[in-house]
Amino acid sequence: MSSFFFNFLIFFLGIIELGNANFLSDFHFNEQKKNSTVYVDPSGHGNFATIQSAIDSVPQNNQYWICILIKPGQYREQVKIPREKPYIYLKGDKSGEVIVTWDGHGSIATDATFTTEAHNTIVESITFINSYNYPPKATKIQGWWQWQA
């Protein structure tokens, strides 16, 4: 009985893979890079001390999800994800404890605290503050599949 189940499972998976070849290749299940998480820590105990330096380390035209895990702290920087750096997941380590502040005083097009132009961007548990303008102009989002929590 288990031999029949095993053969059926292999047959079924083969059919699914043939039918969904484009779907499966989009997610690169078999080619996922091993070092897909980098750590940002303002005290210097991570791979990077700033969020922007971690983003800058992502290869251009990246095709794999890279998680940038950000340790709690105050970050005084402007964060920009350019169009050619998709599949970035910025994740604050603890909700409400990762705060990014910038005092841009120009337009939101040039001075937002956080800007993404890349497709497939996820941001979670990070507070962005523009400490100069009122009303605040803290984020600018373009592209596909962005989400902020």
pLDDT digits (tens, 9 = 90+) for 1-38: 555 544 444 444 444 444 444 444 444 444 555 559 99
Is 79 in the same domain as 43? yes
Domain region containing 115: 32-148
Instruction: Write out the two tokens for 22.
Output: 């484009």
- Residues 47 and 120 placed together within one structural domain of the fold: yes
Q: How many domains does the chain have?
A: 2
pTM: 0.70
Q: Are residues 84 and 11 in the same domain?
A: no
**Do 10 and 75 belong to one domain?**
no
For the chain, residues with pLDDT lower than 50 are: 5-30
According to the model, what pLDDT value does residue 141 have? 65
pLDDT of res. 119: 92
pLDDT of residue 110: 82
Asked if residue 131 and residue 69 are part of one domain, the reply reads yes
Write the CATH number for 50.
2.160.20.10
